[in-house]
C-alpha cells in the first residue's frame, strides 16, 4: 500500500519520480505528491485523487528543476484522501520532506509531544510527526541519515520512510521496518522505491534492504546501516524482466494484458522444475527431504485470491500425499492460537510477498517451530526472505489490482509442491507424477484455447451490466473457483456477488434465487467422479426450476448440462484436480468486461490497493 519513489542523480528528479509513481499507482491512488530539492530549498506539490490531478497541478504550477527528489502515491489509512493529508509532509520551516508507507502506531503520543514543544501539525496523518522529528534531530546533528536512525528508534509500527532535507542537497535517505523498500543502483544515480517497477526503465540492478535498516543515497553511491548505526549487509540482485513487461503492451488495461499472458505465465512457472527423466527438481525448496517425510500436517495461509489458490491446493495435497491440510485466512491465523509444531509445514502464498497479514502468519508459524515454504511472485520481497524456503512463480510483474496470472501460477506452484511432497514421501509413483506434469505442461495451450472463445462471455457480461447480484456455484475444486469468480466481480464491478458450495444451497442460499437471477455454475468433469458431476447437474436443475438464469461452465463434450444452461461456456477437458486452471479464466474475463461496461476502472478499483502492507 502506498507507492514511494526517491531519486538522486543527474536527470530531472521530477521526471524520474513522476514516471516511477505512474508505475506504482497500482499501490494506492487516493492522492499523490512530490518534493524536489532545488535552488537551496525544497519545492513540494501534492494533490488529492489520482496521479493525473498532480500532473495537472504541475503543468499549471511548474516546480524548479532539481536532480534530487521524492514522490508518493497514497492509500489512505490515517486521515481522508485530501490535499492536506497527501504526502510529502514537511516540517514547519519547510526544510525537510518525508513520504511514508505503513502505520506509525505511537503517532498520537509523538504528536502530543511535538505540539507541547510548539510544533504546528497541519494534517490528520501519522506521517507528519516524522517530518517534525527529523527536523529536530537534523538541527542537532546536521546529518539526515543519522537523524533518520534516531527517529526510527522512537517509532512503533510498520513503516517505509523516504526523506530529503534542503540543507543536505544531493542526498535521499530511506528506512524500512516491516514494509517494502528496494534500492536501484545506476551509473552515477540511485533510486529508492516500493517496487523495482518504479526504476526498471533506468536500471535492473537492485539491492534488497533488510529489516530495521537506513539507506543513504547520493550520486557517489549507497550506504546502508542498521537503526543503531552499525554497517549492514545487503543482497544485490539482478531483475530478470525489463520495462516492457511493466507496460500495457497495446491492451486496454493491465488486467486484460495479464489475463492474456496466462498461457506463458503457466509455462514459465513449470520451466526448470522438471528434469530429463520427468521427475520434479524443486531446488529452491531447501527443506530437507527427511523433514518433509516427517511432516504430519500442512497449513496454508494466504489472503484474497491467494487464499482461493490455497483452498484448491488442499484437494491436491490431501489426495496426492494423504497429509491433512488446513487452509486459513492469514488475517485470522495467529489470533486463534493455531496448533503448530516442528512437524507442521506452513505454506504461505502471496503474489506481492509483502501482504502484512500473511507476513505476520509466517512469523507466528516460525515462532512455533514450524517450517515455512513461501509461494511468491516477487523476488526479494519480505515473505520469501523470512521463510525457510521459497518456490517462485514466474508470472512476471502483475500490475492490475485484481489478481489473474498470479493466481494461475500460484495454482501451478501448489500442484508442484503437492507432487513434490508425494515424490519425497513415496505416496506417488514416478509415472504418476510424470503423468500430472504432462497434464500441467498442456495447460498453457488449454488456457490459450479458452481465451480464443471468450466473445460470448464478454457479450453476456455486457448484457448483465444492470444487474445487482450474481451468484457462483461449484463443488470440490470448483467451489474455490466459484469464490474466486465472486471476488473478481465484487472488487471490479462493485456488485453483490457470492460464491457457494453447490451442496450448501439447500441449507439456506437457495432462498436468494428469484426470476432472472444470474447464477454461474462451474461443473466438474463427468470423467472424474461422476457422482460429483451428477449432483451438480441436479443443483442446476433446482435453481433453474426457481427462475435462475444459468451460466454453465462445462467441459467440452459434456452434453448432459446442455438442456439446463441458458448460457453455456465450454472449457477444454482437464483432469479433475487441474480444472481450476481453465475454469477460472472465463470468470476473469466476465468480471473485467462487466466492470468495464459499468464504467469502472478495472486496473484501479475503488478503495483497493495491490499490495496490502497494513494489518
Residues serving a catalytic function are 2, 610
Beta strand spans in 371-450 (E): 371-376, 389-392
Q: In what order do the strands lie in the sheet with 389-392?
A: 325-329, 297-302, 344-350, 371-376, 389-392
Looking at the Cβ atoms of 355 and 576, the one nearer to ligand M6R is 355
The owner of cell 472465463 is 586
User: Is residue 1 within 8 Å of 609, Cβ to Cβ?
Assistant: yes
Nearest residue to ligand M6R by CB is 304
Chain contacts with ligand M6R (rule: CB under 6 A): 303-306, 350-352, 355, 358, 401-403, 487, 491, 611-612
Looking at the Cβ atoms of 496 and 570, the one nearer to ligand M6R is 496
CB atoms within 10 A of CB 161: 27
The least CB distance from residue 33 to ligand M6R, in Å, is 25
The owner of cell 524443486 is 282
Q: Which residues pair with residue 231 across a beta bridge?
A: 225
Burial of residue 535 (number of CB atoms within 10 Å: 0-12, 13-18, 19+): middle
Looking at the Cβ atoms of 467 and 584, the one nearer to ligand M6R is 584
The least CB distance from residue 360 to ligand M6R, in Å, is 12
The least CB distance from residue 402 to ligand M6R, in Å, is 4
**Distance in angstroms (rounded) separating the CA atoms of residues 364 and 334:** 6
Looking at the Cβ atoms of 214 and 402, the one nearer to ligand M6R is 402
Q: How many residues does the chain have?
A: 615
Q: Contacts by 568-571 with C-beta closer than 8 Å and gap 24+? A: 569/456, 569/457, 570/453, 571/446, 571/450
Looking at the Cβ atoms of 152 and 401, the one nearer to ligand M6R is 401
Strands 549-555 and 213-218: unpaired
The least CB distance from residue 178 to ligand M6R, in Å, is 15
Looking at the Cβ atoms of 218 and 352, the one nearer to ligand M6R is 352
The least CB distance from residue 549 to ligand M6R, in Å, is 25
Q: Which residues contact 175 (CB under 8 A, 6 or more apart)?
A: 148, 149, 152, 159, 160, 161, 162, 181, 213, 214, 215, 227
The least CB distance from residue 606 to ligand M6R, in Å, is 12
> What DSSP assignment string belongs to 429-457?
-HHHHHHHHHHHHTHHHHHHHHHTT-HHH
- At 341 the three-state DSSP class reads coil
Looking at the Cβ atoms of 303 and 520, the one nearer to ligand M6R is 303
**Distance in angstroms (rounded) separating the CA atoms of residues 125 and 139:** 23
- At 456 the three-state DSSP class reads helix
**Distance in angstroms (rounded) separating the CA atoms of residues 433 and 439:** 10
Looking at the Cβ atoms of 303 and 521, the one nearer to ligand M6R is 303
The least CB distance from residue 398 to ligand M6R, in Å, is 8
The least CB distance from residue 413 to ligand M6R, in Å, is 12
**Distance in angstroms (rounded) separating the CA atoms of residues 39 and 94:** 14
User: Is residue 451 within 8 Å of 260, Cβ to Cβ?
Assistant: yes
Amino acid at each position: 500500500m502506498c507507492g514511494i519513489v526517491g531519486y538522486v542523480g543527474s536527470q530531472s528528479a521530477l521526471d524520474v519520480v513522476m514516471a516511477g509513481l505512474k508505475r506504482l499507482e497500482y499501490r494506492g491512488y487516493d492522492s499523490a505528491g512530490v518534493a524536489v530539492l532545488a535552488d537551496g530549498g525544497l519545492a513540494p506539490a501534492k494533490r488529492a485523487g489520482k496521479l493525473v490531478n498532480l500532473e495537472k497541478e504541475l503543468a499549471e504550477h511548474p516546480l524548479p528543476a532539481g536532480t534530487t527528489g521524492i514522490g508518493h502515491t497514497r492509500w489512505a489509512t490515517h486521515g481522508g484522501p485530501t490535499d492536506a493529508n497527501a504526502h510529502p509532509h514537511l516540517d514547519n520551516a519547510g526544510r525537510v520532506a518525508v513520504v511514508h508507507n505503513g502505520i506509525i502506531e505511537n503517532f498520537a503520543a509523538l504528536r502530543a509531544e511535538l505540539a507541547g514543544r510548539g510544533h504546528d501539525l497541519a494534517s490528520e496523518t501519522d506521517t507528519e510527526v516524522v517530518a517534525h522529528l527529523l527536523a529536530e534531530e537534523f538541527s542537532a546533528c546536521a546529518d539526515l541519515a543519522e537523524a533518520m536512525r534516531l527517529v526510527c528508534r522512537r517509532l512503533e509500527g510498520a513503516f517505509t520512510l523516504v526523506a530529503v532535507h534542503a540543507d543536505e542537497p544531493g542526498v535521499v535517505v530511506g528506512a524500512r521496518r516491516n514494509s517494502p523498500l528496494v534500492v536501484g543502483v545506476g551509473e552515477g544515480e540511485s533510486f529508492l522505491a516500493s517496487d523495482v517497477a518504479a526504476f526498471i526503465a533506468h536500471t535492473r540492478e537492485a539491492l534488497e534492504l533488510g529489516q530495521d535498516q537506513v539507506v543513504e543515497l547520493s550520486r557517489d553511491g549507497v550506504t546502508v546501516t542498521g537503526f543503531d548505526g552499525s554497517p549492514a549487509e545487503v543482497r544485490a540482485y539482478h531483475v530478470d524482466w525489463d520495462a516492457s513487461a511493466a507496460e500495457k503492451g497495446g491492451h486496454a488495461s493491465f488486467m486484460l494484458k495479464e489475463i492474456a499472458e496466462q498461457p506463458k505465465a503457466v509455462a514459465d512457472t513449470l520451466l526448470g522444475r522438471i528434469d530429463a527423466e520427468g521427475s520434479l527438481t524443486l531446488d529452491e525448496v531447501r527443506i530437507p527431504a527427511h523433514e518433509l517425510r516427517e511432516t504430519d500436517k500442512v497449513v496454508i495461509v494466504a489472503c484474497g485470491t491467494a487464499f482461493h489458490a490455497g483452498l484448491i491446493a488442499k484437494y491436491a495435497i490431501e489426495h496426492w500425499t494423504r497429509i491433512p491440510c488446513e487452509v486459513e485466512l492469514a488475517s485470522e491465523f495467529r489470533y486463534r492460537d493455531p496448533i503448530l509444531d516442528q512437524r507442521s509445514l506452513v505454506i504461505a502464498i502471496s503474489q506481492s510477498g509483502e501482504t502484512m497479514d500473511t507476513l505476520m502468519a509466517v512469523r507466528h508459524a516460525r515462532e512455533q517451530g514450524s517450517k515455512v515454504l513461501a509461494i511468491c511472485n516477487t523476488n526479494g520481497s519480505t515473505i520469501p526472505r523470512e521463510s525457510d524456503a521459497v518456490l517462485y512463480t514466474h508470472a512476471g510483474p502483475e500490475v492490475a489490482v485484481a489478481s489473474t496470472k498470479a493466481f494461475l501460477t500460484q495454482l501451478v506452484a501448489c500442484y508442484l509442491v503437492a507432487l513434490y511432497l508425494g515424490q519425497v514421501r513415496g505416496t506417488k509413483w514416478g509415472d504418476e507424477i510424470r503423468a500430472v506434469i504432462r497434464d500441467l505442461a498442456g495447460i498453457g495451450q488449454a488456457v490459450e484455447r479458452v481465451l480464443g472463445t471468450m466473445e460470448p462471455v464478454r457479450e453476456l457480461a455486457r448484457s448483465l451490466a444492470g444487474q445487482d447480484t450474481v451468484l457462483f456455484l461449484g463443488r470440490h475444486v470448483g467451489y474455490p473457483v466459484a469464490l474466486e469468480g465472486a471476488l473478481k466481480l465484487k472488487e471490479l464491478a462493485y456488485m453483490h456477488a457470492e460464491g457457494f458450495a453447490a451442496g450448501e444451497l439447500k441449507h439456506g442460499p437457495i432462498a436468494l434465487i428469484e426470476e432472472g437471477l444470474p447464477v454461474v455454475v462451474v461443473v466438474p468433469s463427468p470423467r472424474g467422479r461422476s457422482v460429483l458431476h451428477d449432483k451438480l447437474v441436479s443443483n442446476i436443475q433446482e435453481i433453474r426450476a426457481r427462475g435462475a438464469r444459468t451460466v454453465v461452465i462445462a467441459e467440452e463434450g459434456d452434453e448432459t448440462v446442455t438442456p439446463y444452461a441458458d448460457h453455456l461456456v465450454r472449457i477444454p477437458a482437464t483432469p479433475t484436480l487441474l480444472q481450476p486452471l481453465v475454469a477460472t479464466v472465463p470468470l476473469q474475463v466476465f468480471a473485467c468486461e462487466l466492470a468495464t461496461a459499468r464504467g469502472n476502472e478495472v486496473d484501479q478499483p475503488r478503495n483497493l490497493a495491490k499490495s496490502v502492507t497494513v494489518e
